[in-house]
Structure 1
């Protein structure tokens, strides 16, 4: 007897026992979405330009399938002479694999982003993307790559790029994106993998009610063991022991008790006992749901595994001890598994004594770092006096800077910083507000805070020196004019030169010895005053670096800045590299493989946007590693700029610089 037959028998028996009729489940109304308009238009165009049609295409040639969206024959009758006659047209099949939730106006990478890439290699690129990109900028790029509406090559139609995209979204914890992508796919085009992925994403997110509704809608279609275990889980969630017993017994009959974790969790729910911790080492989405039903917490040890399922589960589960949940949420936001708003909600839910919040700046720090952040965050949020709020935020940011959490603190507290008035009364807070605004890409507010800082700088404060230390971030983010070419064709050429290994003023050698040519002048007019100011500011920055107590860190920071400048076509002042010319010259570096570097260059120069983005994400994985090769990071921002992603390149570079500022 097949599993489907057994499920039908179970349903019939239940119907007889309860006296109810059998009503087939219906799919969720959100499961079907309109086919993107560009695909419809392409299919309609192909329908009238197929070989063998009586009517040629508008250009007088026989039609073909240039976009490769569909397959199969399409026939069109000759158009009748009567313009009012009804004409029947049979459209080609639409490639459901091209579905997405982001078009270019929403941050998508464009319909032609897979240009120059085979479907098989595209699926490989997607599957090998990191589960935890090293930076939030790269994570955002990766999610946009996976969610973009795009035409696909038809070389290997049996390879499912859609399944690879959904699997990677779940792997990286982008659960809402995975669910939306599955539901944007026409119902009839989904296979078992997509259906299971939708359910798993809902379970990981803790949306058990939604998951069970989805399981019911698919129950008449698929008969794998996954669905029987899911049915048992839903029956337990609904406190329906009879249905649960049927499903659990069928699992045992069909598969034995090989799944010890599943049966251990079921026994714990039925008996109200604790689950054996040894069964909870490699948790699946259904295990997370069963633990929630059992009202038991995920082992704290799972926090160190890096398993996105466990970390999100620890963050969402009500049964998780408060301090463990705070640490899980802190880690989850850093990895991009939850948003800064979700982190703020979790921090806001912690119970603190009102007196502790009133004296947050005077009390001793909490034993758990995330708990200290939560206390300061709550104290700042509850203060309606701007000066007091700014003082509390300044303390939070100071702690975060020391702990290496500044970027997270910026994402978390940006809404609170926005409520601080931008004027001279808060000049002491201007640099912190400036850095925070840059970190969250609020450049207009950053420009206003920069103006406050500059106008308030005087010999009696340290604002001037702090601005000098921040200068490379200001330069790359566009808040200071460096005299570099703006992001147009000239900037692209500069980055093309960087990708090809060219440098400015490169000497050539002849019979008369080395000859240094005159600097290449960009086709646009250079602002000489801006260039002079840039050189002066860089001299000030280098002097501060030279006075640093940690010269090794200062040297690494200078290398990163100079390489990023090269990537953006910003001048590294003459002689700046000389300060780094210290033997030994051979160093042990963490860098990217030559094949990644090769395809990064090939993709960028060939305007293959998806391949370039995939390789850029791989290349920046070294960003947080010790002794990371800054040249690889320079190539990364240069490649992104070349394919039109200048803003993403800037965000990545700024994130790298702010993260390195300890």
Structure 2
């Protein structure tokens, strides 16, 4: 008897809701089909190198061979997708894989996520942390029903790190029904920092249904929507408070059209302050950048109403942390307008002030003579090293160095240019400048100090490493920290360190306590258990917000070793180079 079209559609709809009992607690990952198998047959455990993305097991992977005809299926209601699994990066985009939390307990993730540094001392670690937080992945076992949600914990860290673009994408990908006071606050602050006051106020209206609003936010939204009368009455009440926020009041008055009072200080800026000052077209006080957390640096750098030197300073901090692309900083410094008096003052200030650094960048770019350009950059890089900004300056000047070709008349500058290229992640180009440096006795002595960078980058390896090691040791001098950190990084990437080299630094008291022993034990266990995401999480937390010139060498060594063990070879070597350079190498 022929089957009617209606009955066929009914049967098809019924098939869509068939799911194995063994998978009842594991919904299909986003964008992946739900795989139907017999409930009587359990697939083999996924291999360590597999992402756990829901790949269908082959017939050979089933105990006893392929399923037999007539296998029984059970009907199970599909569960809603887990919002904690939402992400915007898959493995092809740098994500760590749908199964990245396999084997990691939810308690570990939930305890360590808030401990991730907002301002890591390493761009490599910042980038890896960003990928970790934005990856689409099944939530760790035991996470379901926990408060706050894993999504909120990830969003909070992204915001703290200044990754507002990634955070905005993550929040957009999350189901609209997922909400909480914490997520709403993050959305409001993100919209304020990105200049979308309309979206910020719409979210504030929704947030007011869950909790009382900050009166300042209410005033901001009232003025933004033309309700100046209501805002004016609220401002009158604010002025009478002993703890009145005079900076915000001045900005709100300017937004409403009233001449504002002068604001000299803003010691604790918030996203609302930045949004109000931008809407009022008021300049920010000079102390704003120094006190601004990473989350606000890009908003300051992108605000044309902010003084040029503050914009550059904010952009430099953001670039150093990995929040801002180096090219964006370069464009800002090349594009800012400087009056003749400002140019004269900048020439006097030189490397010590943001405008002076912008002027130097332009001067080098305009210099046509290769030997003059090379010498200028060598001097600028040396000055940057003295103010602990060598690597950031190297990244800024790398394209200008790349325009030069090694030549005999540039040999004096060649060691410094080579060091800058290692810092900028261009080891192949650096090797050609090192070859030039070896043609001159004086330059060759300086180039010998760069041997560890060559070994760590694995480019242009010296055919006689024993002799090169001795040559490097002669350049270290009395700087014990430089020696120990460099030895620790060389050992961490697999170099054999002669015992006498360690022996010279074996006695005395070590500087820097480092993380607690429990953190080191957890990190080791995660790496040895091949839990990649957990290893990345613990490595970033272990380094903390101490700069690489302050982290104890043992912790640096362990982090590099365990990152390599977990499969993060490139990131580990980048971190090792950063550590060597940060400590004078």
Fold match by TM threshold 0.5: yes
2:4 is matched with which residue?
Answer: none
SS of corresponding position for 1:465 = helix
2:34 is matched with which residue?
Answer: 44
Write the distance in 2 (CA, Å) between the matches of 1:264 and 1:365: 32
Q: Is the 8 A contact 2:161 2:295 kept in 1?
A: no
1:394 is matched with which residue?
Answer: 378
2:447 is matched with which residue?
Answer: 467
1:300 aligns with 2:286: yes
2:401 is matched with which residue?
Answer: 417
SS of corresponding position for 2:547 = coil
Structure 2: gaps (5+ residues)? 1-26, 45-50, 55-68, 70-74
Summarize the Cα distance change of 1:89–1:351 in structure 2 as closer, same or farther, 3 Å threshold. Answer: same
Write the distance in 1 (CA, Å) between the matches of 2:550 and 2:237: 56
1:200 is matched with which residue?
Answer: 189
Q: Which moved more, 1:332-341 or 1:218-227?
A: 218-227
The structural deviation recorded for 1:393 is 2.5
1:560 is matched with which residue?
Answer: 485
2:556 is matched with which residue?
Answer: 633
1:454 is matched with which residue?
Answer: 435
Aligned residues: 527
1:619 aligns with 2:542: yes
The structural deviation recorded for 1:364 is 4.6
Question: Mapping of 1:51-62 within 5 angstroms?
Answer: 56=39
Write the distance in 2 (CA, Å) between the matches of 1:266 and 1:111: 46
1:536 aligns with 2:522: no
Q: Which moved more, 1:327-336 or 1:604-613?
A: 327-336
- Select the residue among 229, 233, 257 that pairs with 1:245: 229
1:132 aligns with 2:119: yes
* Aligned-residue RMSD, C-alpha: 3.8
The structural deviation recorded for 1:134 is 1.6
1:575 aligns with 2:500: yes
Question: Mapping of 1:357-368 within 5 angstroms?
Answer: 364-366=348-350, 368=352
1:108 is matched with which residue?
Answer: 95
Write the distance in 1 (CA, Å) between the matches of 2:554 and 2:84: 36
1:24 is matched with which residue?
Answer: none
Write the distance in 2 (CA, Å) between the matches of 1:414 and 1:58: 58
Q: Which moved more, 1:113-122 or 1:635-644?
A: 113-122
1:14-68: per-residue Cα shift (whole Å, max 9, x none)? xxxxxxxxxxxxxxxxxxxxxxx971466612xx45xxxxx6466599xxxx989
Summarize the Cα distance change of 1:249–1:38 in structure 2 as closer, same or farther, 3 Å threshold. Answer: farther
Q: Is the 8 A contact 2:456 2:577 kept in 1?
A: yes
The structural deviation recorded for 1:477 is 1.2
1:78 is matched with which residue?
Answer: none
Write the distance in 1 (CA, Å) between the matches of 2:487 and 2:187: 45
Summarize the Cα distance change of 1:202–1:413 in structure 2 as closer, same or farther, 3 Å threshold. Answer: farther
TM-score w.r.t. the length of structure 1 is: 0.70
1:644 aligns with 2:567: yes
2:424 is matched with which residue?
Answer: 440
1:121-179: per-residue Cα shift (whole Å, max 9, x none)? 31221111111112212111211111112111241323311111111111111111111
Write the distance in 2 (CA, Å) between the matches of 1:192 and 1:586: 48
Summarize the Cα distance change of 1:556–1:618 in structure 2 as closer, same or farther, 3 Å threshold. Answer: same
1:319-355: per-residue Cα shift (whole Å, max 9, x none)? 4333344333333433444332332233223434789
Summarize the Cα distance change of 1:111–1:464 in structure 2 as closer, same or farther, 3 Å threshold. Answer: same
SS of corresponding position for 2:177 = helix
1:592 aligns with 2:515: yes
1:655 aligns with 2:582: no
Q: Is the 8 A contact 1:411 1:440 kept in 2?
A: yes
Summarize the Cα distance change of 1:355–1:390 in structure 2 as closer, same or farther, 3 Å threshold. Answer: farther
Write the distance in 1 (CA, Å) between the matches of 2:411 and 2:511: 43
Summarize the Cα distance change of 1:394–1:588 in structure 2 as closer, same or farther, 3 Å threshold. Answer: closer
1:610 is matched with which residue?
Answer: 533
Question: Mapping of 1:61-100 within 5 angstroms?
Answer: 91-100=78-87
1:380 is matched with which residue?
Answer: 364
Write the distance in 1 (CA, Å) between the matches of 2:339 and 2:260: 34
Q: Is the 8 A contact 1:471 1:541 kept in 2?
A: yes
Question: Mapping of 1:168-567 within 5 angstroms?
Answer: 168-204=157-193, 207-208=194-195, 210-213=196-199, 215-216=201-202, 219=205, 223=209, 224-226=211-213, 230=217, 232-234=219-221, 236-237=223-224, 241=226, 243-246=227-230, 260-261=244-245, 265-270=251-256, 271-274=258-261, 280-305=266-291, 307-309=293-295, 311-352=297-338, 364-366=348-350, 368-383=352-367, 386-421=370-405, 426-446=410-430, 450-455=431-436, 457-458=438-439, 460-481=440-461, 530=463, 533-545=464-476, 548=477, 551=478, 553=479, 555-567=480-492
Write the distance in 2 (CA, Å) between the matches of 1:592 and 1:116: 24
Q: Is the 8 A contact 1:476 1:654 kept in 2?
A: yes
Q: Is the 8 A contact 2:188 2:204 kept in 1?
A: no
2:60 is matched with which residue?
Answer: none
The structural deviation recorded for 1:277 is 5.6
The structural deviation recorded for 1:461 is 4.4
Q: Is the 8 A contact 2:481 2:583 kept in 1?
A: no
The structural deviation recorded for 1:560 is 1.4
Structure 1: gaps (5+ residues)? 1-36, 50-54, 70-80, 82-87, 483-529
